Amino acid sequence: MDSSLQGPAHSGREALFRNGSLLLHNVTLKDAGFYTLRTLTTDLKAEVAHVQLQCWVRLKHTGLSTSVSTCSNTPTSTQVTIESVPQYVAEGKSVLFLVHNLPEDLQEFFWYKSVYRTDIFKIAEYNRATNSTIWGLAHSQREMVYSNGSLLIEGITEKDAGLYMLETLNKDYKIEKAFVQLHVNTSLFTYGQPPHSAKPTIESVPPSVAEGGSVLLLVHNLPENLQALYWYKGVIAHKKFEVARHLRQIDSSLQGPAHSGREALFRNGSLLLHNVTLKDAGFYTLRTLTTDLKAEVAHVQLQVNTSVSTCSNYPTSTRVTIESVPQYVAEGKSVLLLVHNLPEDLQEFYWYKSVHRTDIFEIAEYSKATNSTLWGLAHSQREIVYTNGSLLIEGITEKDAGLYMLETLNKDYKIEKAYVQLHVNKPVTQPFIRIIDTTVTVQSFVVLTCFSADPGISIHWIFNNQSLLLSNRMTLSPQNCQLSIYPVRMEDAGEYKCEVSNPVSSKTSLPVILVVKNE
Protein backbone atom coordinates (compact mmCIF):
# COMPACT_ATOMS: atom_id res chain seq x y z
CA MET A 1 0.00 0.00 0.00
CA ASP A 2 3.04 2.28 0.59
CA SER A 3 1.32 4.87 2.82
CA SER A 4 2.06 6.69 6.07
CA LEU A 5 -0.41 7.40 8.86
CA GLN A 6 -0.12 9.98 11.61
CA GLY A 7 -0.34 8.95 15.26
CA PRO A 8 -1.69 10.66 18.40
CA ALA A 9 1.73 12.17 19.21
CA HIS A 10 2.10 13.77 15.76
CA SER A 11 2.50 17.53 16.22
CA GLY A 12 2.10 18.56 12.59
CA ARG A 13 5.84 19.23 12.33
CA GLU A 14 7.03 15.69 11.52
CA ALA A 15 7.62 14.17 8.09
CA LEU A 16 8.14 10.42 7.64
CA PHE A 17 10.20 9.19 4.66
CA ARG A 18 9.99 5.88 2.84
CA ASN A 19 13.46 4.92 4.09
CA GLY A 20 12.16 5.17 7.68
CA SER A 21 13.78 8.51 8.51
CA LEU A 22 11.77 11.04 10.52
CA LEU A 23 12.25 14.78 9.95
CA LEU A 24 11.19 17.33 12.59
CA HIS A 25 10.58 20.95 11.59
CA ASN A 26 10.72 24.00 13.92
CA VAL A 27 12.22 22.03 16.79
CA THR A 28 11.54 23.25 20.34
CA LEU A 29 13.11 22.31 23.67
CA LYS A 30 10.04 20.19 24.36
CA ASP A 31 11.05 17.95 21.45
CA ALA A 32 14.29 16.99 23.21
CA GLY A 33 14.65 13.47 24.57
CA PHE A 34 14.47 9.90 23.33
CA TYR A 35 12.64 8.68 20.23
CA THR A 36 11.91 5.02 19.48
CA LEU A 37 11.69 3.24 16.12
CA ARG A 38 9.99 -0.16 15.96
CA THR A 39 10.24 -2.25 12.80
CA LEU A 40 8.20 -5.32 11.86
CA THR A 41 9.23 -7.73 9.09
CA THR A 42 7.02 -9.96 6.97
CA ASP A 43 7.98 -12.91 9.18
CA LEU A 44 6.69 -10.89 12.19
CA LYS A 45 10.14 -10.26 13.63
CA ALA A 46 10.18 -6.99 15.58
CA GLU A 47 13.20 -4.77 16.23
CA VAL A 48 13.46 -1.60 18.34
CA ALA A 49 16.02 1.22 18.09
CA HIS A 50 16.37 4.44 20.08
CA VAL A 51 17.91 7.83 19.48
CA GLN A 52 18.34 10.84 21.76
CA LEU A 53 17.54 14.26 20.31
CA GLN A 54 19.70 17.10 21.61
CA CYS A 55 18.27 20.62 21.25
CA TRP A 56 20.32 23.80 21.16
CA VAL A 57 18.97 27.24 22.06
CA ARG A 58 20.36 30.65 21.17
CA LEU A 59 20.90 32.99 24.12
CA LYS A 60 21.00 36.71 23.31
CA HIS A 61 22.67 39.10 25.73
CA THR A 62 21.75 42.77 25.82
CA GLY A 63 24.39 45.45 26.11
CA LEU A 64 27.32 46.47 23.97
CA SER A 65 27.74 43.04 22.49
CA THR A 66 25.60 40.08 21.58
CA SER A 67 26.88 36.55 21.88
CA VAL A 68 25.41 33.23 20.89
CA SER A 69 25.90 30.17 23.04
CA THR A 70 24.52 26.68 22.78
CA CYS A 71 23.09 24.56 25.47
CA SER A 72 21.74 21.05 25.14
CA ASN A 73 18.45 19.72 26.34
CA THR A 74 19.70 19.24 29.86
CA PRO A 75 16.79 19.35 32.30
CA THR A 76 16.62 21.78 35.16
CA SER A 77 19.12 21.34 37.97
CA THR A 78 16.47 19.66 40.13
CA GLN A 79 16.00 16.78 37.70
CA VAL A 80 18.06 13.62 37.74
CA THR A 81 20.26 13.29 34.65
CA ILE A 82 22.68 10.58 33.52
CA GLU A 83 25.88 11.06 31.54
CA SER A 84 27.58 8.19 29.70
CA VAL A 85 31.35 8.44 30.21
CA PRO A 86 32.64 7.93 27.60
CA GLN A 87 29.78 8.61 25.20
CA TYR A 88 30.94 5.88 22.80
CA VAL A 89 32.41 2.69 24.29
CA ALA A 90 34.62 0.11 22.60
CA GLU A 91 33.98 -3.59 23.23
CA GLY A 92 35.97 -4.86 26.18
CA LYS A 93 36.21 -1.44 27.82
CA SER A 94 34.28 0.07 30.74
CA VAL A 95 31.56 2.71 30.87
CA LEU A 96 30.37 4.84 33.76
CA PHE A 97 26.79 6.07 33.92
CA LEU A 98 27.46 9.20 35.94
CA VAL A 99 24.36 10.43 37.78
CA HIS A 100 23.77 14.12 38.43
CA ASN A 101 21.27 15.75 40.81
CA LEU A 102 20.33 12.68 42.85
CA PRO A 103 17.57 13.75 45.30
CA GLU A 104 18.91 14.79 48.70
CA ASP A 105 16.01 12.99 50.38
CA LEU A 106 16.66 9.80 48.42
CA GLN A 107 15.30 6.61 49.92
CA GLU A 108 16.06 4.05 47.19
CA PHE A 109 17.12 3.83 43.58
CA PHE A 110 16.82 1.07 40.96
CA TRP A 111 18.75 0.40 37.74
CA TYR A 112 17.14 -1.41 34.76
CA LYS A 113 18.52 -2.64 31.42
CA SER A 114 15.31 -1.53 29.80
CA VAL A 115 12.81 1.31 29.72
CA TYR A 116 10.38 -0.92 31.61
CA ARG A 117 10.19 -1.50 35.36
CA THR A 118 10.26 -5.31 35.21
CA ASP A 119 12.12 -7.75 37.45
CA ILE A 120 13.79 -9.57 34.56
CA PHE A 121 15.43 -6.30 33.49
CA LYS A 122 16.46 -5.15 36.97
CA ILE A 123 20.21 -4.81 37.46
CA ALA A 124 20.26 -3.60 41.05
CA GLU A 125 18.43 -1.77 43.80
CA TYR A 126 20.10 0.37 46.46
CA ASN A 127 18.77 1.32 49.89
CA ARG A 128 20.28 4.43 51.46
CA ALA A 129 19.08 3.68 55.01
CA THR A 130 20.98 0.39 55.13
CA ASN A 131 23.62 1.40 52.56
CA SER A 132 23.05 -1.95 50.86
CA THR A 133 22.68 -3.20 47.30
CA ILE A 134 20.52 -6.10 46.13
CA TRP A 135 21.36 -7.47 42.70
CA GLY A 136 18.60 -8.20 40.21
CA LEU A 137 18.07 -10.80 37.50
CA ALA A 138 19.81 -8.64 34.88
CA HIS A 139 23.02 -8.38 36.92
CA SER A 140 25.86 -9.89 34.87
CA GLN A 141 28.62 -9.80 37.53
CA ARG A 142 30.19 -6.91 35.60
CA GLU A 143 28.24 -4.04 37.19
CA MET A 144 29.09 -1.95 40.22
CA VAL A 145 26.60 0.44 41.86
CA TYR A 146 27.73 3.48 43.85
CA SER A 147 25.92 5.36 46.58
CA ASN A 148 25.78 8.50 44.40
CA GLY A 149 23.58 6.54 41.97
CA SER A 150 26.22 5.95 39.32
CA LEU A 151 26.56 2.58 37.59
CA LEU A 152 29.83 1.15 36.27
CA ILE A 153 29.80 -1.65 33.68
CA GLU A 154 33.05 -3.44 32.85
CA GLY A 155 33.98 -5.67 29.92
CA ILE A 156 31.42 -4.11 27.59
CA THR A 157 29.95 -6.32 24.85
CA GLU A 158 27.74 -5.50 21.89
CA LYS A 159 24.76 -6.94 23.78
CA ASP A 160 25.13 -4.22 26.45
CA ALA A 161 24.14 -1.52 23.96
CA GLY A 162 20.74 0.09 24.38
CA LEU A 163 18.69 2.11 26.84
CA TYR A 164 19.11 1.99 30.61
CA MET A 165 16.72 3.42 33.19
CA LEU A 166 17.38 4.79 36.67
CA GLU A 167 14.38 5.03 38.97
CA THR A 168 14.64 7.02 42.20
CA LEU A 169 12.32 7.03 45.21
CA ASN A 170 12.44 9.84 47.76
CA LYS A 171 11.11 9.97 51.32
CA ASP A 172 7.76 11.31 50.07
CA TYR A 173 7.56 8.21 47.85
CA LYS A 174 7.88 10.36 44.74
CA ILE A 175 9.21 8.33 41.81
CA GLU A 176 11.47 9.91 39.21
CA LYS A 177 12.93 8.25 36.11
CA ALA A 178 15.97 9.07 34.00
CA PHE A 179 17.32 7.34 30.91
CA VAL A 180 20.68 6.95 29.20
CA GLN A 181 21.68 5.28 25.94
CA LEU A 182 24.79 3.12 25.75
CA HIS A 183 26.58 3.21 22.38
CA VAL A 184 28.97 0.30 21.80
CA ASN A 185 31.51 0.56 18.99
CA THR A 186 32.68 -2.59 17.25
CA SER A 187 34.53 -0.73 14.49
CA LEU A 188 37.91 0.97 14.57
CA PHE A 189 36.42 4.13 13.14
CA THR A 190 34.61 6.09 15.84
CA TYR A 191 33.98 9.65 16.88
CA GLY A 192 37.10 10.12 18.98
CA GLN A 193 37.43 6.87 20.90
CA PRO A 194 40.85 6.84 22.62
CA PRO A 195 43.37 4.62 20.85
CA HIS A 196 44.64 1.40 22.37
CA SER A 197 47.78 1.98 24.40
CA ALA A 198 49.86 0.08 26.91
CA LYS A 199 49.93 3.01 29.32
CA PRO A 200 47.05 4.56 31.26
CA THR A 201 45.98 8.06 30.28
CA ILE A 202 43.70 10.52 32.06
CA GLU A 203 41.10 12.86 30.60
CA SER A 204 39.50 15.74 32.49
CA VAL A 205 35.72 15.77 31.85
CA PRO A 206 35.03 18.65 31.34
CA PRO A 207 38.49 20.04 30.39
CA SER A 208 37.87 23.10 32.55
CA VAL A 209 35.44 23.23 35.47
CA ALA A 210 33.81 26.18 37.19
CA GLU A 211 34.01 26.68 40.95
CA GLY A 212 31.28 24.66 42.65
CA GLY A 213 30.97 22.24 39.75
CA SER A 214 31.97 18.60 39.40
CA VAL A 215 34.76 17.10 37.31
CA LEU A 216 35.60 13.51 36.42
CA LEU A 217 39.23 12.52 35.98
CA LEU A 218 38.48 9.73 33.53
CA VAL A 219 41.05 6.95 33.23
CA HIS A 220 41.67 5.17 29.91
CA ASN A 221 43.65 1.97 29.26
CA LEU A 222 43.72 0.62 32.81
CA PRO A 223 45.83 -2.59 32.93
CA GLU A 224 43.79 -5.80 32.79
CA ASN A 225 45.97 -7.41 35.48
CA LEU A 226 45.57 -4.48 37.85
CA GLN A 227 46.33 -5.17 41.49
CA ALA A 228 45.91 -1.69 42.98
CA LEU A 229 45.65 1.95 41.99
CA TYR A 230 46.40 5.16 43.90
CA TRP A 231 45.39 8.80 43.37
CA TYR A 232 47.54 11.70 44.61
CA LYS A 233 47.01 15.47 44.76
CA GLY A 234 50.07 16.90 43.04
CA VAL A 235 52.86 15.39 41.00
CA ILE A 236 54.51 13.37 43.77
CA ALA A 237 53.22 9.87 44.58
CA HIS A 238 53.76 10.20 48.34
CA LYS A 239 51.59 8.84 51.15
CA LYS A 240 50.78 12.28 52.60
CA PHE A 241 49.38 13.42 49.22
CA GLU A 242 47.26 10.30 48.69
CA VAL A 243 43.58 11.01 47.98
CA ALA A 244 42.37 7.42 47.71
CA ARG A 245 43.34 3.91 46.65
CA HIS A 246 41.48 0.92 45.25
CA LEU A 247 42.51 -2.69 45.89
CA ARG A 248 41.20 -4.92 43.10
CA GLN A 249 41.60 -8.28 44.90
CA ILE A 250 39.25 -7.38 47.74
CA ASP A 251 37.32 -4.84 45.62
CA SER A 252 37.68 -2.15 48.25
CA SER A 253 38.52 1.56 48.21
CA LEU A 254 40.30 3.40 51.02
CA GLN A 255 40.61 7.13 51.61
CA GLY A 256 44.01 8.77 52.01
CA PRO A 257 45.30 11.75 54.05
CA ALA A 258 44.59 14.17 51.17
CA HIS A 259 40.93 13.09 50.83
CA SER A 260 38.70 16.14 51.34
CA GLY A 261 35.37 14.33 51.57
CA ARG A 262 34.43 15.53 48.08
CA GLU A 263 36.13 12.80 46.04
CA ALA A 264 34.62 9.52 44.84
CA LEU A 265 36.81 6.74 43.43
CA PHE A 266 35.33 4.32 40.90
CA ARG A 267 36.40 0.75 40.14
CA ASN A 268 37.57 1.77 36.66
CA GLY A 269 40.12 4.07 38.31
CA SER A 270 38.33 7.33 37.55
CA LEU A 271 38.14 9.99 40.25
CA LEU A 272 35.11 12.27 40.64
CA LEU A 273 35.47 15.62 42.45
CA HIS A 274 32.37 17.45 43.72
CA ASN A 275 32.05 21.16 44.64
CA VAL A 276 35.39 22.05 43.08
CA THR A 277 37.31 25.02 44.52
CA LEU A 278 40.32 26.98 43.25
CA LYS A 279 42.48 25.05 45.71
CA ASP A 280 41.68 21.86 43.79
CA ALA A 281 43.42 23.20 40.68
CA GLY A 282 46.75 21.75 39.65
CA PHE A 283 48.22 18.36 38.85
CA TYR A 284 46.82 15.00 39.96
CA THR A 285 48.76 11.75 39.77
CA LEU A 286 47.49 8.21 39.21
CA ARG A 287 49.77 5.29 40.08
CA THR A 288 48.83 1.77 39.00
CA LEU A 289 50.33 -1.50 40.18
CA THR A 290 49.81 -4.77 38.28
CA THR A 291 49.90 -8.34 39.56
CA ASP A 292 53.41 -8.70 38.11
CA LEU A 293 54.39 -5.65 40.22
CA LYS A 294 54.78 -3.32 37.25
CA ALA A 295 54.06 0.28 38.23
CA GLU A 296 52.85 3.03 35.89
CA VAL A 297 52.29 6.73 36.62
CA ALA A 298 50.01 9.15 34.74
CA HIS A 299 49.29 12.82 35.36
CA VAL A 300 46.47 15.21 34.56
CA GLN A 301 46.14 18.94 35.14
CA LEU A 302 42.85 20.22 36.53
CA GLN A 303 41.81 23.68 35.30
CA VAL A 304 39.40 25.59 37.54
CA ASN A 305 37.57 28.71 36.36
CA THR A 306 36.27 31.35 38.75
CA SER A 307 32.86 32.93 38.30
CA VAL A 308 34.59 36.26 37.64
CA SER A 309 37.01 35.22 34.92
CA THR A 310 38.13 32.20 32.98
CA CYS A 311 41.75 32.28 33.96
CA SER A 312 43.24 28.95 34.87
CA ASN A 313 45.09 27.93 37.97
CA TYR A 314 48.31 29.76 37.21
CA PRO A 315 50.31 30.85 40.25
CA THR A 316 50.88 34.47 41.17
CA SER A 317 53.28 36.51 39.05
CA THR A 318 56.11 36.16 41.60
CA ARG A 319 56.29 32.41 41.18
CA VAL A 320 58.15 30.55 38.49
CA THR A 321 55.86 29.18 35.76
CA ILE A 322 56.57 27.20 32.60
CA GLU A 323 54.74 27.43 29.29
CA SER A 324 54.95 24.75 26.60
CA VAL A 325 55.37 26.41 23.18
CA PRO A 326 53.53 24.99 21.32
CA GLN A 327 51.15 23.39 23.80
CA TYR A 328 50.80 20.29 21.60
CA VAL A 329 53.83 19.02 19.70
CA ALA A 330 53.96 16.77 16.66
CA GLU A 331 56.46 13.92 16.58
CA GLY A 332 59.69 15.06 14.93
CA LYS A 333 59.13 18.74 15.73
CA SER A 334 60.62 20.98 18.45
CA VAL A 335 59.16 22.39 21.65
CA LEU A 336 60.27 25.24 23.90
CA LEU A 337 59.57 24.96 27.62
CA LEU A 338 59.47 28.71 28.18
CA VAL A 339 60.18 29.87 31.74
CA HIS A 340 58.54 32.95 33.27
CA ASN A 341 59.49 34.82 36.47
CA LEU A 342 62.93 33.31 37.00
CA PRO A 343 64.29 34.70 40.33
CA GLU A 344 66.47 37.79 39.90
CA ASP A 345 68.85 36.47 42.56
CA LEU A 346 69.15 33.11 40.80
CA GLN A 347 72.20 31.05 41.64
CA GLU A 348 71.49 27.77 39.79
CA PHE A 349 68.68 25.90 38.06
CA TYR A 350 68.13 22.23 37.19
CA TRP A 351 65.93 20.50 34.60
CA TYR A 352 64.55 16.98 35.16
CA LYS A 353 62.54 14.62 32.95
CA SER A 354 60.59 13.62 36.02
CA VAL A 355 58.93 15.05 39.09
CA HIS A 356 61.75 13.63 41.22
CA ARG A 357 65.15 15.19 41.88
CA THR A 358 67.19 12.14 40.88
CA ASP A 359 70.44 11.98 38.94
CA ILE A 360 69.12 9.51 36.37
CA PHE A 361 66.35 11.99 35.42
CA GLU A 362 68.53 15.11 35.34
CA ILE A 363 68.75 16.73 31.92
CA ALA A 364 70.97 19.68 32.81
CA GLU A 365 72.12 22.05 35.52
CA TYR A 366 73.09 25.67 34.94
CA SER A 367 75.30 27.92 37.11
CA LYS A 368 74.79 31.67 36.75
CA ALA A 369 78.10 32.54 38.39
CA THR A 370 80.13 30.65 35.79
CA ASN A 371 77.52 30.88 33.00
CA SER A 372 78.05 27.18 32.39
CA THR A 373 75.85 24.14 31.77
CA LEU A 374 76.51 20.57 32.90
CA TRP A 375 74.57 17.85 31.13
CA GLY A 376 72.92 15.10 33.16
CA LEU A 377 72.21 11.43 32.58
CA ALA A 378 68.83 12.20 30.96
CA HIS A 379 70.39 14.45 28.31
CA SER A 380 69.59 12.99 24.88
CA GLN A 381 71.73 15.32 22.72
CA ARG A 382 68.50 16.98 21.58
CA GLU A 383 68.16 19.57 24.38
CA ILE A 384 69.40 23.16 24.56
CA VAL A 385 69.33 25.14 27.82
CA TYR A 386 69.09 28.95 27.82
CA THR A 387 70.22 31.40 30.48
CA ASN A 388 66.62 32.52 31.06
CA GLY A 389 65.85 28.99 32.28
CA SER A 390 64.01 27.84 29.15
CA LEU A 391 64.60 24.39 27.66
CA LEU A 392 64.41 23.57 23.95
CA ILE A 393 63.87 19.94 22.88
CA GLU A 394 64.29 19.02 19.22
CA GLY A 395 63.19 15.93 17.29
CA ILE A 396 60.33 15.15 19.67
CA THR A 397 59.30 11.51 20.07
CA GLU A 398 56.36 9.91 21.85
CA LYS A 399 58.72 8.94 24.69
CA ASP A 400 59.36 12.63 25.43
CA ALA A 401 55.76 13.11 26.58
CA GLY A 402 55.16 13.57 30.29
CA LEU A 403 56.02 15.87 33.17
CA TYR A 404 59.17 17.98 33.39
CA MET A 405 60.45 19.74 36.50
CA LEU A 406 62.50 22.92 36.82
CA GLU A 407 64.22 23.47 40.16
CA THR A 408 65.68 26.89 40.96
CA LEU A 409 68.12 27.86 43.72
CA ASN A 410 68.54 31.50 44.73
CA LYS A 411 71.33 33.20 46.69
CA ASP A 412 69.51 32.53 49.97
CA TYR A 413 69.53 28.84 49.03
CA LYS A 414 65.75 28.86 48.68
CA ILE A 415 64.57 26.06 46.39
CA GLU A 416 61.54 26.53 44.15
CA LYS A 417 59.99 23.94 41.83
CA ALA A 418 57.79 24.34 38.75
CA TYR A 419 56.25 21.71 36.48
CA VAL A 420 55.08 21.49 32.90
CA GLN A 421 53.39 18.69 30.97
CA LEU A 422 54.53 17.93 27.44
CA HIS A 423 51.78 16.68 25.12
CA VAL A 424 52.96 14.82 22.01
CA ASN A 425 50.52 14.20 19.17
CA LYS A 426 50.70 11.85 16.24
CA PRO A 427 49.53 13.06 12.83
CA VAL A 428 45.90 12.19 12.08
CA THR A 429 44.97 9.48 9.59
CA GLN A 430 42.73 9.98 6.58
CA PRO A 431 38.99 9.99 7.33
CA PHE A 432 36.25 8.70 5.06
CA ILE A 433 32.66 9.68 4.32
CA ARG A 434 29.71 7.30 4.51
CA ILE A 435 26.46 8.01 2.67
CA ILE A 436 23.57 5.59 2.11
CA ASP A 437 22.95 6.64 -1.49
CA THR A 438 24.99 9.06 -3.61
CA THR A 439 22.07 9.61 -5.98
CA VAL A 440 19.07 11.40 -4.46
CA THR A 441 16.02 13.28 -5.69
CA VAL A 442 14.99 16.87 -5.16
CA GLN A 443 13.05 17.43 -1.90
CA SER A 444 14.54 14.27 -0.32
CA PHE A 445 16.66 13.93 2.82
CA VAL A 446 20.37 13.05 2.82
CA VAL A 447 22.96 12.48 5.57
CA LEU A 448 26.74 12.40 5.11
CA THR A 449 28.83 11.02 7.99
CA CYS A 450 32.56 11.62 8.49
CA PHE A 451 34.43 8.76 10.20
CA SER A 452 37.90 8.99 11.72
CA ALA A 453 40.08 6.62 13.76
CA ASP A 454 41.73 9.47 15.67
CA PRO A 455 40.78 10.91 19.07
CA GLY A 456 40.57 14.60 19.91
CA ILE A 457 39.85 15.79 16.39
CA SER A 458 37.96 18.70 14.82
CA ILE A 459 35.88 18.11 11.68
CA HIS A 460 35.41 20.57 8.82
CA TRP A 461 33.25 20.06 5.71
CA ILE A 462 34.32 20.99 2.16
CA PHE A 463 32.02 21.42 -0.86
CA ASN A 464 33.47 21.67 -4.37
CA ASN A 465 36.93 22.37 -2.91
CA GLN A 466 35.71 25.30 -0.82
CA SER A 467 34.68 25.55 2.81
CA LEU A 468 31.04 24.54 3.03
CA LEU A 469 28.71 27.47 3.65
CA LEU A 470 25.77 26.16 5.64
CA SER A 471 22.35 27.08 4.32
CA ASN A 472 19.17 27.01 6.37
CA ARG A 473 18.54 23.55 4.87
CA MET A 474 21.75 22.12 6.29
CA THR A 475 22.38 20.89 9.83
CA LEU A 476 25.59 19.77 11.52
CA SER A 477 25.65 17.43 14.51
CA PRO A 478 27.26 18.84 17.70
CA GLN A 479 30.60 17.16 16.83
CA ASN A 480 30.32 18.12 13.12
CA CYS A 481 30.59 14.44 12.17
CA GLN A 482 27.20 14.39 10.43
CA LEU A 483 25.93 16.75 7.73
CA SER A 484 22.19 16.62 7.07
CA ILE A 485 20.48 18.31 4.11
CA TYR A 486 16.70 18.76 3.76
CA PRO A 487 15.08 19.46 1.47
CA VAL A 488 17.70 18.61 -1.14
CA ARG A 489 17.95 20.99 -4.09
CA MET A 490 19.75 20.79 -7.42
CA GLU A 491 22.47 23.17 -6.20
CA ASP A 492 23.45 20.62 -3.51
CA ALA A 493 24.88 18.34 -6.19
CA GLY A 494 28.67 18.22 -6.23
CA GLU A 495 31.78 17.00 -4.45
CA TYR A 496 31.81 16.65 -0.65
CA LYS A 497 34.88 16.06 1.51
CA CYS A 498 35.54 16.20 5.25
CA GLU A 499 38.76 17.36 6.88
CA VAL A 500 39.87 16.16 10.30
CA SER A 501 42.53 17.90 12.34
CA ASN A 502 44.20 17.79 15.74
CA PRO A 503 46.50 20.45 17.21
CA VAL A 504 49.40 19.34 15.00
CA SER A 505 48.04 17.97 11.70
CA SER A 506 45.09 17.61 9.32
CA LYS A 507 43.88 15.15 6.66
CA THR A 508 41.12 15.31 4.05
CA SER A 509 38.90 12.42 2.97
CA LEU A 510 38.47 11.18 -0.56
CA PRO A 511 35.60 12.99 -2.30
CA VAL A 512 32.02 11.76 -2.41
CA ILE A 513 30.01 12.91 -5.43
CA LEU A 514 26.36 13.66 -4.67
CA VAL A 515 24.07 13.42 -7.70
CA VAL A 516 20.70 15.18 -7.47
CA LYS A 517 17.85 14.32 -9.87
CA ASN A 518 14.42 15.79 -10.40
CA GLU A 519 11.52 13.65 -9.21
Query: What is the residue extent of each domain of the chain?
Result: 1-73, 81-185, 201-305, 321-425, 432-517
Check residue 68 and give its pLDDT: 35
206-239 residues labelled b (16+ CB within 10 A) or e (exposed): eeebeeeebbbbbbbbbbeebbbbbbbbbbebee
pLDDT at 55: 63
Residue 67's pLDDT is 34
User: For position 193, what pLDDT does the model report?
Assistant: 44
Written as one string, the DSSP assignment of 311-339 is --SPPPTTS-EEEEESSEEETTS-EEEEE
Position 498 scores a pLDDT of: 96
491 secondary structure, DSSP code: G
The Cα 322–Cα 338 span in angstroms is 5
**Options 2.60.40.10, 2.60.40.650, 3.30.2290.10, 2.40.50.140; which CATH number does 201-305 get?**
2.60.40.10
Q: Which residues of the chain have pLDDT under 70?
A: 18, 54-77, 186-198, 306-317, 478
Q: Quick check: do 201-305 and 432-517 share a fold?
A: yes
Torsion of CA 149, 115, 87, 272, to 10 degrees: 0
pLDDT given at position 220: 82
CATH code for the structural domain at 81-185: 2.60.40.10
Amino acid residing at 17: F
User: According to the model, what pLDDT value does residue 370 have?
Assistant: 93
Stated length of the chain: 519
Is the separation of the CB atoms in 101 and 214 below 8 Å? no
- Looking at domain 321-425, does it have CATH number 1.10.620.20? no
Please give the CATH architecture assigned to the domain spanning 1-73.
Sandwich (2.60)
Fold of the domain spanning 432-517: Immunoglobulin-like (2.60.40)
* pLDDT for residue 389: 93
pLDDT value of position 453: 82
